[in-house]
Amino acid sequence: MLNNFLFRSFNLLLTNIYNKNVKKFGYTPRGLFWNSKDSQFKRFKILTKLIEENTDHEILKIADIGCGYGDLLTYFKKELRVKFHYYGCDINKQFIELCKKKHKNVDFFVSDSPIEFCDFSIMNGTYNFAVYENLKLWEKYIEYNLTKCFAKSDKGIIFSLQKSDFSQIVNSIYYVNTELMEKKLINLFKNVRSFYYEDTPRDVYFVVLKS
């Protein structure tokens, strides 16, 4: 119960920080703490590839957790070579209101996890910005959210983190040691794979499947 209360407070802090950052940089990638649109699209391309490689090309239901401005949906409409139904979730009400204006007839929800069952939950850097400097507690927050997403995902979850030789929080950015995180994920979920790509050298991508 104490952790649940604490993690809800993390969500409130994150919402306030992102609102201030958007006020400073506008609705741009920098407003979401990304370096540029180019780096954002490189990550979108990789997530698209991982989805396509882990499906039999049936119609997928995708939940975008931490959807921000809904830019991943814009990319999927152009590039994802699988028929899909999408809905977006974000803890930031301001972002959800923007998404609803940008993407008519698409469902968006104020939530930190899927509100209904999906095939895949996708988290693109959703847990990179740490509002708390205690590494173990921030990792517990990530595990808590991943577990909620996994429970509502029939096929699995796909997500990215920033990587480093050591798990650490530097200037509010969480960096993970891939081997240690993979061990934790295997203990939680069993079927886990990690991927690196030259286009995003600081990122590691995890695919966690149910079968």
pLDDT at residue 46, as a whole number: 98
* pLDDT the model gives residue 1: 57
Task: Tell me the sheet residues that pair with 21.
Answer: none
pTM assigned to the model: 0.95
Helix (H) or strand (E) holding 158: strand 153-163
Beta bridge partner(s), residue 156 = 120, 209
Amino acid occupying residue 210: K
Name the β-bridge partners of 64: 88, 122
Query: CA-CA distance, 77 to 108, in Å (whole number)?
Result: 16
Please write the tens of the pLDDT for every residue from 111-167: 999 999 999 999 999 999 999 999 999 999 999 999 999 999 999 999 999 999 999
3-class DSSP assignment, residue 81: coil
To the nearest 10°, report the CA torsion of 133, 136, 141, 147.
Answer: 160
Q: Do residues 55 and 155 make contact, with C-beta atoms less than 8 angstroms apart?
A: yes
Beta-carbon neighbour count of residue 180 at 10 Å?
A: 12
CA distance 165 to 183: 15
CB contact set of 2 (below 8 Å; sequence gap of 6+): none
Q: Regarding predicted confidence, which is higher, 208 or 26?
A: 208
C-alpha span between 78 and 20 (Å, rounded): 31
pLDDT band at 2 (very low <50, low <70, confident <90, very high): low
